Amino acid sequence: MGQVAPQQAEQVPTERGAPELDRLFHEVNLLRLEGYYFCFDPKAAARRAGRQEFLQPITTSEGRVERALAIEPYPKYGYPSTVAYRVLLAITKKLSDYGYPVVQSVSFSQRELAALAGRRSFGGKDAKDFLRAVMQLKSTEIWGSFFDKDTEEWRLVTFSVLTSVIFSGRRQQIRECVFYLDPLIVRSLNSRYAFCLNFRRLEGLEPIGIALFKHLFFRFSHLESRARFANRTYTKDYAAICAQWLGGLKPLPYKSKILQEQLGRHLEALKAVKLLRSYKLEKNKRGDGFNLSFVAGSGFLEDYRDFYRKLLQPGLPFERALDEDTVQKPLELVRHFYEERYGPHDVDELVFSSKETALARSLLETRSFEECKDLVDYAIRGARSRDFDLQNFGGVRLYAAAFAASKEKGRQRQDKEAKGRTETAEARLRDEYERFRRQELDRIRTRLSADELAAIEQPIREVLRQEGVAPIGFDLLVRLQINRALEERYPIPSFEEWRAEGRA
């Protein structure tokens, strides 16, 4: 706790002749999926056939996990590649121009779509390529994990980017078209699960450059908003970039080939638009691959300032992340500690220290807000039980491991209790069925004449005598055999049938 000295505003470099600000809203789930959904090598895309399956790394509240992801193109149209990538970029740009609330359909004129998709016209081969790309977006199925911003839960879903398309044209030329997006994407955009890019910076890039631009701006912004962007440098494994960002682009074994034949011109283009100040390709520590390090440029800093620092994008996720994840929730958590420790009316004028909010922020990175509140309550109770004076929020960290162990122990106890309840209920149900079965047998016996019963009983007694069954228990065994014979002649529902019929 204590007074916090006002911090000096960060100086963001100003670039002469910076591109005009032109916002492009991009749904975050689509960014995570596009590196698998599109193949940025058209020749490799032509060779991909059938269902493609991946393990996609995802960061959840439980930590870093791998989730199954599958992309299944329709054989007639093939795997989505660079033309489809540009068409989707055009669609998202037009939706951005429409503004909020996001609608499900978006329409284009021929000239408008050609300009946005980087084409001069849509006649002849261009029209065929365009039609094929659109049908790839419509017919390619995605099975994967989709984050729902409203519920803050991951869901396993299946969908296509486009649900329907309408074209209008003359002969080989498309004059007008309408696209209908999957409602899942539209709902996510309207939930503000998106981030903002400056379209003017990326519109002249090639598809690989655009993909790198989007992923790097997203990563830079995420780190910048959380004050975890040391030297504004971001490093990622080169092979992972090829697999996760660039549609399974084949990793090359030599540094010279990577820079001269594959990524070099795209990285230089990112420097030209000022997203990057510099980049470096180096051998990794194991010596079996490469790492790419990216240093954010003045263009990123300007766009980040304009979109998020100046709050020109009210309600969008990075503004909300800046407001909720890095400010609101950490402060609420620290305040909860002091309210529980000293009472709600004694903390109104407290100014929490930056170390306390930094600790709260780190706790919230791996736990939900409610879990963090439970940790705070656990720490306060634990300190009081030991007559220890937990004076400030920093002491909560001392109880994190014990809290996790206690939570796991509680979960195991609950699982054991639930299992015991299930077994008890099952035993009770079987007892009820046995009573039902005996009642049914008694009912059958009462409906049979003495001669009918004797006809069943006599052969059973004869067989048991021939087998030499001892007199003790002989009559009981006879009765059991009679019951079995009655059940064969007059079927009684089995336990499973009896339960399914709802007789329990």
Task: Take residue 187 and report the two structure tokens written for it.
Answer: 């709902």
Task: Take residue 278 and report the two structure tokens written for it.
Answer: 């510099």
Pairing of strands 233-237, 290-296: antiparallel
To the nearest 10°, report the CA torsion of 184, 185, 188, 194. Answer: 160
Give the model confidence (pLDDT) of 24-46 as tens digits. 989 999 999 999 999 999 899 99
Cα 462 versus chain centre, distance: 71
Task: Take residue 403 and report the two structure tokens written for it.
Answer: 């809290």
Task: Choose among 282, 278, 275, 283: nearest CA to 294.
Answer: 278
Peptide bond before 101: cis, by omega within 30 degrees of 0?
yes
Q: What are phi and psi of 449, to 5 degrees?
A: -80, 165
Q: What per-residue confidence (pLDDT) applies to 482?
A: 84
Q: Which residue has 């220890």 as its token pair?
A: 388
Task: Take residue 124 and report the two structure tokens written for it.
Answer: 């002849």
Q: What per-residue confidence (pLDDT) applies to 344?
A: 67
Block mean pLDDT (10 aa), the chain, length 504: 33 43 88 93 90 86 84 93 92 85 80 67 71 91 90 90 77 71 92 90 93 94 75 90 91 92 94 94 90 93 79 40 54 78 64 71 82 89 82 86 83 83 87 87 86 84 81 80 83 84 70
Q: What per-residue confidence (pLDDT) applies to 317?
A: 39
Q: Distance between CA atoms of 335 and 339, rounded to whole angstroms?
A: 6
Q: Which residues contact 122 (CB under 8 A, 6 or more apart)?
A: 110, 113, 114, 130, 169, 173, 174
Task: Choose among 182, 188, 88, 190: nearest CA to 146.
Answer: 188
Q: Which residues contact 192 (CB under 8 A, 6 or more apart)?
A: 149, 315, 316, 317, 320
So where are the chain's domains? Answer: 27-191, 344-447, 449-504
How is the beta sheet containing 290-296 ordered, strand by strand? 233-237, 290-296, 276-283
* Number of residues assigned to the chain: 504
Distances 57 to 54, 85, 118 between C-alpha atoms, Å: 10, 22, 32
Q: Note if the pTM is more than 0.75.
A: no
Q: Using the CB atoms, write b or e for 296-329: b if 16+ within 10 Å.
A: bbbbbbbbbebbbbeeebeebbbbbbbeebbeeb
